[in-house]
Structure 1
Amino acid sequence: MKRRDLVIAALIVGGLVLASAVAVARLAGDPVGLLTRDAAASAGLPPYTGVISTFTVMVWFAAGTLSAFIAWTDGKHRRRLAPFAYLLLALAADDALLLHESVGPRLGIHELLIYAVYGLGALRIAYLMLGEERIVALAFWTGAALLAISVLVDVAFLGAYLLEDGAKLLGVLVWSTVPLLAHSAPRAAVPVLGLDRALEHRSQPG
């Protein structure tokens, strides 16, 4: 891929998003500004409404993009960071678009089922992280534990917003360090449980 193709791809993605917004607005019979404007401004709410939620979504996307970039440019970590990037970006979209809270239930998909899919993905990545340096795996598991607390509070303790959203923010911030720690790890770093070579061998054909 030529470097200029990245710019073209970015413009195409942006165009598709805007075209989709116009199509959805027409189907719903709403003005397109309902999809493009800030929700707090449209509702006449204070400008700081949802600031933690907005910041969390920004960190989700930043961590996912960073993981994807390092997976693309650093072959040593590609097998672990590529699925991690997919999970981060999926969670970012979920958090931004309320997929598990609103969209899923409207389509007949229970919230717990969506959580289960994310959980299985996280468990798969946790297994892959056994081949990373200890600090990288520790950062992943710490972030996963904080996010699990957020999910537990969301399901069992409705209304505890500070605990739920606070644990989520801390979890994604810790997860955002995973690609940086992996990329900066010394080449001779000792993986968790010494499984790096075993994982490398299983990934080879034949």
Structure 2
Amino acid sequence: MSVLINQLKTLLYSFLLIFVVGLILLGTLLGIHFHKDVPLEILTNDLAVIGELPIYAGFLSQVGILLWSAAAAICMYSVQFIANKEHQKFIKASVYITMLLGLDDAFMFHETLFPSLGIHQKVVFLCYGIMMLVYLYRYYKLILTTDFILFIFALGWFGISMLIDNCIRDVSPYITKLAEDGTKFIGIVTWLVFFARTCKKFQEYNDLKST
């Protein structure tokens, strides 16, 4: 019994965090439900169920979101094992960027959300571009000590996808959809591999410095 009580005391803040996050999310859903008169099942059910679509609907997009999440999770978990402050700052900044891009992919920020608020898609792309330039300017020397070719390839695939999205429309589904979404997906995979290798390299660097 004492073990149970001690564990409950230890996990008090963890439980508090769980409940706060859960209540905020559920409260947000209720707010949307009452303010916008959106049925609750639209806010809580799977998209395939809502749209009465086959289970493979949005397959590439769903897998891409999982890979964004994996990249962010790897970086967040690895930070605690990286002692070098500059390495830590780079990985933390990469977490924020990865989460933003993943959330954009999941909730269509640049395609739907921001345009619905009167912000043109090209303005969103410009802001993302400036954010990435600041990120590169701040950490390019550090990136050059990593497997930077993977990083360049990831950005290159994203760039091709954006180019197709903005400049080559309605030519063929193989170009406008398969090529656009396919190049973005390859970019996400490359991004994940880069950060998995970089986090591992930074941890090995830390181990070498400590011996």
* TM class by smaller structure: 0.7 to 0.9
SS at match of 2:27: helix
Residue of structure 1 aligned with 2:114, choices 104, 107, 110: 104
| Superposition TM-score, scaled by structure 1 size | 0.81
Residue 39 (structure 2) aligns with: 31
Q: Say if 1:80 and 1:129, in contact at 8 Å, map to a contact too.
A: no
Whole-Å separation in 2 of the counterparts to 1:157 and 1:63: 29
Residue 19 of structure 1 aligns with which residue? 27
When the two chains are superposed, the root-mean-square deviation of aligned CA atoms in Å is 2.2
Aligned residue runs from structure 1 range 2-151, under 5 A: 4=11, 5-6=13-14, 8-76=16-84, 77-127=87-137, 128-132=139-143, 134-151=145-162
Q: Is the 8 A contact 1:56 1:172 kept in 2?
A: yes
> How far apart, CA to CA, are the structure 2 residues paired with 1:73 and 1:177?
19
Closer, same or farther in 2 for the Cα pair 1:11/1:55, shift >3 Å? farther
Shift of 1:123: 2.2
Amino acid of the residue matched to residue 101 of structure 1? E
Structure with larger RCO (C-alpha < 8 A, sep 6+): 2
1:187 aligns with 2:205: yes
* Residue aligned with 2:42, SS: helix
Looking at structure 2, the residues matched to 3 and 78 of structure 1 have their Cα atoms a distance apart, in angstroms, of 27
- TM-score between both structures, scaled by the size of structure 2: 0.80
Contact kept, 8 Å, 2:71 with 2:196, in 1: the verdict is no
Give 1 or 2 for the bigger CA radius of gyration: 2
Give the C-alpha shift of residue 75 in structure 1.
Answer: 3.5
1:176/1:49 Cα in 2 relative to 1: closer, same or farther (>3 Å)? same
Query: Please, which runs of 5 or more residues in structure 2 have no aligned partner?
Result: 1-8, 171-175, 207-211
Q: What 5-or-longer segments of structure 1 have no aligned partner?
A: 189-206
Instruction: Name the SS for the 1:150 alignment partner.
Output: helix
Using the TM superposition, name which of 160-169 and 64-73 deviates more: 64-73
Shift of the 75–112 alpha-carbon distance from structure 1 to 2, 3 Å rule, reads farther
Q: Choose 11-20 or 78-87, whichever is displaced more.
A: 11-20
Distance of aligned partners of 1:75 and 1:14 in 2 relative to their CA distance in 1, 3 Å threshold: farther
Query: Percent identical across equivalent pairs?
Result: 25
